[in-house]
Structure 1
Amino acid sequence: MSHSQRSTGLTAFVVTVLAVVLVAGSLIIGRTSAGADPQPTTRSAEAGFARDMQVHHDQAVEMSMIVRDLTESPDIRLLAYDIATSQSQQAGQMFGWLATWGLPQASPEPPMTWMHRPIPQGDSHAAHNLPAAVGEVPAVMPGMATRAQLDELRTLSGIAAERMFLELMIAHHEGGVDMADAVLERSDYPVVTDLAGSITKAQQSEIQLMEELLAART
């Protein structure tokens, strides 16, 4: 086994352990907050966000693990590690929410449906089970890289890999911010809005950093 394979395996193990710890913590938090607010329903913005953002985060982790094996840049490797660990933790929290709410992890409707429902006025829970807005719901979550793009990233190395990773991750983060902002407009559930707000803040900061790293590589 090569050094890079051992490094990737160890990193993946650490990420998995952290995610499991966060799941346990999120169960406790969810039970505490549930006493004050009605629990989200399976077609609520909160549940839709939890399911879709887990998928979105999983791809960010995948891209980060890919680039760590393709570059020797300390800045890129540290950024990739930070993204992988933080987004694995957050995905664990969202998995925990759904478990606590007694809702299925699999969505009963197409991805992103929740994001195309009307923004509720007043009581955010009133719009939980409204039908999707008129118009086709996009099949792809905002900012997601295609499988072809990920396959291409795996063929690169050095500066070329770093540039493509940064370009893909900037778009990915912009899509994640859009999703977080959308649930903030549709929810007043404290656990959800707290995490969504932290996602927006952290990813906007990382976008600025990645734009600077990309500029240095053009």
Structure 2
Amino acid sequence: MSRTSRTYWAPGAAVAAALVFAVGATVAAASGDGAAGAPGAGARAPGLYSPDAGFARDMAVHHQQAVEMSFVVRDRTQDEAVRAFAYDIANTQANQRGMLLGWLDLWGLPKVVADEPPMSWMGTGHSGHGDGHGTGTGAAQDPKPGALMPGMATKEELARLAALDGRDAEVLYLQLMTDHHKGGVAMARGCAAQCATPAEKALAQGMVEAQESELKLMSDMLARRGAAPRA
């Protein structure tokens, strides 16, 4: 494998240990082993508005857009480095999204809560719905106009990506995904600090490490195309 390939695949490997640990904890939880990190027969499931549940719901939505953008750019460029990078993000984040939604099922919690503002769990609780799990730290920044959460692209940006080809599509994708990762890292740090479920905390920390590595990689990929991350 070339040096370029080794550099590229490292970010995906950084989260692998957390994924393996989290999968094991999820299986153990389903069999009733409450000591495994996810709640089993003898453990209390996270509350509806807890950081654990809020992170699972919000990061599942955040990841879904990354998966969609990655599949879009794969059809808009023939550059193998960008196509491989996009596939790695789509595969990794689709798997993580499935795990987060699976935990919500195990906890008997809904995947959508109508009166829950996005990322409200990162503040002091949910508008008076706090259940004692939150710490009141790491409040999220407001998203840009037209975006659901910080870092997420707007409908107009997604439409523009789908209309571009070649280098232009590559640059916009890398810029959008850089913004996306920055928002995702902030959210994952919030869970690593506030979530009570050990397996979920480990997964969140793995996300931080992997996406920070990918941010450096994307900066290099943009520079090779005569571009830079957006301000």
Letter in 2 for 1:34: P
- Between the aligned partners of 2:67 and 2:214, the Cα distance in structure 1 is 14
Question: What's 1:28 paired with?
Answer: 27
Cα distance per residue 1:8-61 (max 9 Å; x no partner): xxxxxxxxxxxxxxx987742443331475320111001000000000000000
Cα distance per residue 1:48-104 (max 9 Å; x no partner): 000000000000000000000011111000000000000000000001000000111
Which residue of the other structure, out of 122, 129, 132, is the alignment partner of 1:115?
122
Distance 1:44 1:171, change over 3 A: same
* Structure 2 residue 208 is the aligned partner of structure 1 residue 196: no
Q: Indicate if the aligned counterparts of 1:95 and 1:105 stay in contact, CA closer than 8 A.
A: yes
With normalisation by structure 2, the TM-score equals: 0.74
Q: Cα RMSD over matched residues?
A: 2.6
- Between the aligned partners of 1:137 and 1:175, the Cα distance in structure 2 is 10
Q: Which moved more, 1:36-45 or 1:88-97?
A: 36-45
Cα distance per residue 1:99-152 (max 9 Å; x no partner): 00011111241211111226xxxxxx734599xx8xx97673110000000000
Q: Indicate if the aligned counterparts of 1:63 and 1:150 stay in contact, CA closer than 8 A.
A: yes
Q: Which moved more, 1:102-111 or 1:80-89?
A: 102-111
Q: Which runs of 5+ in 2 are unaligned?
A: 1-21, 126-130, 227-231
List, as ranges, runs of 4+ consecutive aligned residues in structure 1 with deviation greater than 2 Å: 23-27, 29-33, 35-38, 125-130, 136-140
Letter in 2 for 1:112: M
Mapping of 1:174-185 within 5 angstroms? 174-185=182-193
* Structure 2 residue 67 is the aligned partner of structure 1 residue 61: yes
Q: Which runs of 5+ in 1 are unaligned?
A: 1-22, 119-124
- Between the aligned partners of 1:26 and 1:189, the Cα distance in structure 2 is 10
Structure with more helix by fraction: 1
* Structure 2 residue 147 is the aligned partner of structure 1 residue 148: no
